[in-house]
A and B are shown apart, each in its own frame.
Chain A
Amino acid sequence: MVKISTDLLEKLDAALRQGNTDEAESLAKEMLDKGIEPLALVQEVLVPTLTDVGRKFQNFEIFLPELMMAGEAAERVTALLEGATLNAGKPTISVGTIILGQVEGDIHDIGRNIVKTLLKSHGFKVIDLGRDVAASAFLEAAQKEKADIIGLSALMTTTLPAQRRTIHLFEEVGARGQFKIVIGGGATSQGWADEIGADGYAPDAASAVELFKMLMGLPSSK
């Protein structure tokens, strides 16, 4: 297996941190051309770099624009690596498929967008359904994408019932056992998760990543 040179590794790390999408993609191409395995790039550069970016964001050492730009660069590189992996007839590099969305009636985006960015940077495939998502749309997407985990976000107390309603629908159609369903957002709590039968609750973006990893049986980033 070809080893990644320190020079290239540092350059890609810097390009990702600076959100320099074109340069990050170009460096990743160069590495693939040199015979470096896509999975090695994910494990040795993408995940550690974006984990550190996420940690800095959580500590308010950097802010949302830096996180978003690093996430965008990482997403472009991930798409390139995913294409290379599939072309080589190998299984996907994704560590799991996640469906995310604001439950019906909830129109708040920022928190979910942060979780999405962090999850993608940890190698998850994320299908973001956006805001004000009907229960049936979560179900349809989960079945279509063969999702592993569904994340239901609600910021307002008045949108909590829609989280319960969504979980109910999965139960009613007999699909509840096929998926893990977790909740988050300002109005939620562990108590509410227990009450509505969710598989987990995360109070913030960083713990959401840990929760998703735990549910997928992946090692913690901590």
Chain B
Amino acid sequence: MQTNWLPEIVNRSENGPFMKEADFDLALARKTAELVKKHGIKFDPKVLVPRDDDMADRLYQAGLELFIEMGVYNQSTERRILFVREEAGAAVEAAPNAVILGCGKDAVVERHREVESTIPCRMHSGPTGTPCSERFHPLILQSCAQEPLVDCLGAGSVATYLGRLIIPSSPTEILASRKEAAIAREAVCQAGRPGMHIEDVAVPLTCAGKIASIDQQVGLRRSDGLLVSQMPELKTNYDQLSRVAYMQSVGMHIVDLMTPLIGGLGGGAEGTAVVTVASHILGVLCYSVSYHFMGHMNLQWSHNTDRMGLWIQSIAGQALARNTPLVAVNDLYTRSGLGTPEILWEVAAGAIVGAVSGLNQHGVGATCGTRMDHTSGIEARFQAQMAHAALGVTRQQANEYVLECLRHYEHTLGNPNVGKSFPELYNTETLEPGQEWLEVYQKVCQELTQLGLDIDRGWRKVRHGENLN
């Protein structure tokens, strides 16, 4: 087995088969359609949490075949990085099944989870793909970090630096990156959790900008992480691979960000599920990541809480849970905005699917990241509560819960309720949620409790290790 991968990946990037990117896209689309047919992958819009173990295993094989047949497209060299099946198999087998995130008293272990697992999900929070204003960014981060059920914090992205738009590859990118990292560090300290894992600083678009966020005193540390992105579908470039080189050498966590597009090159739900599995294998082989964010999203509106998105999360999660040791995390993007019942129903559906399908939890990208300052701690608390309440739930039960959740928001997806922003819903002095948002949250919690989900006891089970069965 190859052990020193990055020089070899560069070698294959330089000497692999040349292909125009448009031809790669078309070939990938055709191959994916062929594999969906060959392996009999079938999306049923009424069964969003499938119980078909064999289909999950076939999906894994389809994803692996797609990865082997297509390889990874390096946009910097216009060449394909090819791997043989044995290399992929060995690398996946050797991938970590648990990682320690954060340090000191705030460190947590995030584990590989099996289907219908009773192992608690770890909760990643922060402004997921959602831009923040400079004014409210520190408060938003602290509102997330202070939530007891939140385990990790993403620093998110600010739109400006000292009131001016940030220019990539310029000094403002470096300065904004360092400022954002310092604000995230300050937020976890203010929340009394200085060692909490910070998973990314999202403002920089370049390798240099990412590296600028690392500072043992005031920025990101070795116990933190940074995202390395895949471009849809199955693409990388030297800027992304260079991040891997640096983070590996300093011993930071590398986080795999993929955004397979539903309705994109993979086609519908089935093909996107195949691409999603293949993307995880890319994260292992090319990026050597600690954990993976499964960020598939709808091509039209960038959400993943519709039927196709939920089904992909479930079946791809199960395929990975059953066939790999990987630490995988969902990545919820909702159409609705803060302060609305619909966003909580969207989150509930996504959290339940993830919890029973072998995933950890990450959210919430409210309004699909289109509205400024649409993040707060409440929806992260809610996502964690839902995930904990769903521990030990069967896939069949989960499917019924999810269909019920959909009943509360599916009709709004075309014209969503965008709600209100953080400063309209939180007391920005005390950093407590306002009455309006709390009432919406409590009402939805009550309705879910009436459905049979034990929201109150769920987190206690997790904290105190009560027998779930």
Given the interface contacts A110-B299, A157-B157, A158-B205, does A63 sit within 8 Å of B169 by beta carbon? no
Contact at A107–B263, with CB atoms within 8 Å?
Answer: no
Q: Is A160 an interface residue (CB 8 A)?
A: yes
Contact at A64–B205, with CB atoms within 8 Å?
Answer: no
Contact at A65–B261, with CB atoms within 8 Å?
Answer: no
In the complex, per-residue mask of B126-142: 1 if CB is within 8 Å of any chain A CB, else 0: 00000100000000000
Contact at B157–A60, with CB atoms within 8 Å?
Answer: no
Contact at A157–B299, with CB atoms within 8 Å?
Answer: no
Task: Say whether chain B's binding surface is mostly helix, strand, loop, or mixed.
Answer: loop
Residues of A within 8 A of B268 (CB): 63
Contact at A161–B33, with CB atoms within 8 Å?
Answer: no
Q: Is A216 an interface residue (CB 8 A)?
A: no
- Among residues of B, the one whose C-beta sits closest to the C-beta of A116 is B22
Stretch at the interface among B160-168, B377-385, B431-439, B444-452: B160-168
**Docked CA distance A66–B271 (Å):** 13
**Docked CA distance A107–B237 (Å):** 10
In the complex, per-residue mask of A149-191: 1 if CB is within 8 Å of any chain B CB, else 0: 0000000111111100000000000000000000000100000
- Among residues of A, the one whose C-beta sits closest to the C-beta of B261 is A110
Contact at B168–A105, with CB atoms within 8 Å?
Answer: yes
Contact at B231–A107, with CB atoms within 8 Å?
Answer: yes
Contact at B33–A64, with CB atoms within 8 Å?
Answer: no
**Docked CA distance A64–B131 (Å):** 28
**Docked CA distance A67–B37 (Å):** 19
Give the contact-size bracket for chain A. 20 to 34
In the complex, per-residue mask of B150-166: 1 if CB is within 8 Å of any chain A CB, else 0: 00000001010000011
- Among residues of A, the one whose C-beta sits closest to the C-beta of B272 is A63
In the complex, per-residue mask of B307-335: 1 if CB is within 8 Å of any chain A CB, else 0: 00000000000000000000000000000
Q: Is B6 an interface residue (CB 8 A)?
A: no
**Docked CA distance A68–B32 (Å):** 14
A175 to nearest B CB, angstroms? Answer: 23
Give the contact-size bracket for chain B. 20 to 34
**Docked CA distance A159–B203 (Å):** 11
Given the interface contacts A60-B300, A105-B205, A110-B299, does A65 sit within 8 Å of B33 by beta carbon? yes
Q: Is A37 an interface residue (CB 8 A)?
A: no
A75 to nearest B CB, angstroms? Answer: 11
Which residue of the partner chain, among B26, B232, B264, contacts A63 with CB atoms under 8 Å?
B264
**Docked CA distance A164–B231 (Å):** 25
Q: Is B173 an interface residue (CB 8 A)?
A: yes
Residues of A within 8 A of B340 (CB): none
Which residue of the partner chain, among B29, B232, B370, contacts A186 with CB atoms under 8 Å?
B370
Q: Is B392 an interface residue (CB 8 A)?
A: no
Q: Is B265 an interface residue (CB 8 A)?
A: yes
B442 to nearest A CB, angstroms? Answer: 34
Q: Is A69 an interface residue (CB 8 A)?
A: yes
Contact at B205–A156, with CB atoms within 8 Å?
Answer: yes
Contact at B169–A105, with CB atoms within 8 Å?
Answer: yes
B3 to nearest A CB, angstroms? Answer: 30
- For chain A, residues 94 to 109, give those with C-beta under 8 angstroms from any C-beta of chain B: 104-105, 107-109
- Among residues of A, the one whose C-beta sits closest to the C-beta of B166 is A158
Q: Is B267 an interface residue (CB 8 A)?
A: yes
Contact at A64–B29, with CB atoms within 8 Å?
Answer: yes
**Docked CA distance A113–B203 (Å):** 25
Residues of B within 8 A of A157 (CB): 131, 157, 159, 165-166
**Docked CA distance A60–B29 (Å):** 16
Q: Is A72 an interface residue (CB 8 A)?
A: yes
**Docked CA distance A158–B131 (Å):** 10
Given the interface contacts A63-B268, A110-B261, A156-B205, does A68 sit within 8 Å of B29 by beta carbon? yes
Q: Is B30 an interface residue (CB 8 A)?
A: yes
Q: List 9 other contacts, CB 8 Å, given A64-B264, A158-B173, A159-B168.
A: A64-B265, A64-B299, A65-B26, A65-B32, A65-B265, A156-B205, A157-B159, A158-B157, A158-B159
